[in-house]
Amino acid sequence: MLDKIIVNYIGREKRYAILKDQKVEKLYIEQPKQQSLVGNIYIGTVTKVMPGLHAAFVDIGEEKQGFLHRDKLVSFLSARDEKTVKETKGIGSFVHQGERLLVQVEKDASGDKGPRLTGIVEINGKNIVYLPNGYYVAVSRKIEDSQQRESWRQIGHELKEEHEGLIFRTSCTDANREEIETELHHLRTQYHELTKSLKMVKKPMIVHESEHFIKELREECKKMESATIVIDDISLRDKLLAGGSDDLVSEIIYYHEKQNIFSAYGVEDSVEKALRRVVWLSNGAYIVIDETEALTIVDVNTGKYSGKNHLQDTVVKTNELAAEEIARQLRIRDIGGIILIDFIDMKDMSDQEMVRKKLERALQKDHKRTNIVGFTQLGIMQLTRKKTKVALSEGLTEKCKVCEGTGSVLSAESVAFKLERELWELRGTDYESVTIETTEAVKDVFSGLEGKHLKRMEELIHATLRFIIISNNKPFYKITKLI
């Protein structure tokens, strides 16, 4: 059975889900305010140099200032000193307060931490990645032919200037030297345009924005042998095919029914489940997932499952089942950083090894880098998962004003976009007026700047939308009347 990618692109909140054997294996949701900054290039101003951290804080014009380590500075990389000598020098030798830099986001802001930056800018092409100050050549390890890899490495050294860097993508196997040369010229020109902005623009601002959602979709296509993509916006087809995804996708299906595409394919329920603290397993056991800023703790419980044989049989079977589901939940919720799993206590080391191998096999499906550290003396499994963006829970929820931050509820943005999707399903009906009870915050998000999104929705569904504002600490909406 072919994998399916269900893409909900028609609203302002962009979402896709990967289905394998009719089961959701991954969710990706991008709200306007949560749009990933990774890959974006900015003109930034150094606001503070921190010698003790070997780092600087940089104003890039976003809500939070970026964090830039000394080793990611062009001035550090290009210094002629020996590496051991350079590393003895403080960051003040390479950058000063008030200096303006071209920087790129490596990792999104999370919690109280701002985005992580690099001065070693990368510009992506179809076959190569261009690093204006990279100083090295690398070739994708996915190219299995060692002679071909060496050939591209040699060509890279011949084409690049001393200070430049090149990374050859897997797709370069279908290209020739002339095509690579033409692409390199185009990427150089693009970079020179960015450096002109550095001289002309006086305040921190973005100068290159990465189309992250489309890029993520293309990357998913590359990871699959073949896939069917179901979309609800026909314009998305051209955007996908423009990136050379036509040979990776078996079929693109345009879904144009009234019901929201996620609901039609049974994905909406998975979004709600991905925000729940408790996840039930098929045998009646359950896991509890607690996410904090520092780490994520997963607790495994036998629940209603008692097993058919002795207690240890129950414990091992539950832990193995939990290991597989935990790996899936890490993918769906996009949880990164340090993860601690409190499996049910296993006294036999061979049982621990069985569960570790089960988790290791399940994590092989994960395209983000994971590292299993192993069991501690207390029987706690430790692992890490690469974190490049905020987890699903952080992106879709906000601190609850009722419980003073001890729990969370759907944010006003998430509720507004949910209302938008439900109203989309009314297009083509005979209703002339829709009355909605909601909070002021949800109405403001739904309406958009100067009410332009409200007007757009009324035109699309051919009905007047009337709002009744209800005072409530929890963002919500309720359609109370259809005429």
Count CA atoms within 13 Å of residue 110 on its CB side: 22
Distances, alpha carbon 449 to alpha carbons 62, 63, 455, in Å: 19, 19, 11
As averages over each run of 10 residues, the pLDDT of the chain (483 residues) reads 86 92 89 83 95 94 93 89 86 93 91 91 89 91 88 93 91 87 92 85 87 84 81 88 59 91 92 90 91 91 65 84 95 94 91 94 91 92 88 82 72 94 90 95 94 93 95 92 90
pLDDT in tens, 66-94: 999 999 999 998 888 888 888 889 999 99
3-state secondary structure of 292: coil
Q: Say what the pLDDT of residue 395 is.
A: 82
Which of 312, 325, 388, 387 minimizes the C-alpha distance to 352?
Answer: 312
Q: Say what the pLDDT of residue 299 is.
A: 95
Q: Say what the pLDDT of residue 250 is.
A: 67
User: Which domains are present in the chain?
Assistant: 3-35+217-269 (3.30.420), 41-208 (2.40.50.140), 274-385 (3.40.630), 400-482 (3.40.1260.20)
DSSP string, 316-375: HHHHHHHHHHHHHHHHHHT--EEEEEEPPP---HHHHHHHHHHHHHHHTT--S-EEEEEE
Which of 234, 210, 25 minimizes the C-alpha distance to 129?
Answer: 210
Q: Say what the pLDDT of residue 125 is.
A: 85
Q: Say what the pLDDT of residue 329 is.
A: 94
Residue 450 region by backbone torsions, left for phi larger than 0, else alpha for psi between -120 and 50, else beta: left
User: What tokens does 37 get?
Assistant: 């900054």
Phi, then psi, of 217 in degrees rounded to 5:
-60, -45
Which of 354, 336, 350, 343 minimizes the C-alpha distance to 376?
Answer: 343
Q: Say what the pLDDT of residue 8 is.
A: 96
pLDDT in tens, 346-363: 888 899 999 999 999 999
pTM over 0.75: no
Which of 421, 396, 393, 390 minimizes the C-alpha distance to 475?
Answer: 396
How big, in percent rounded to 5, are the helix, strand and coil portions of the chain? 35, 30, 35
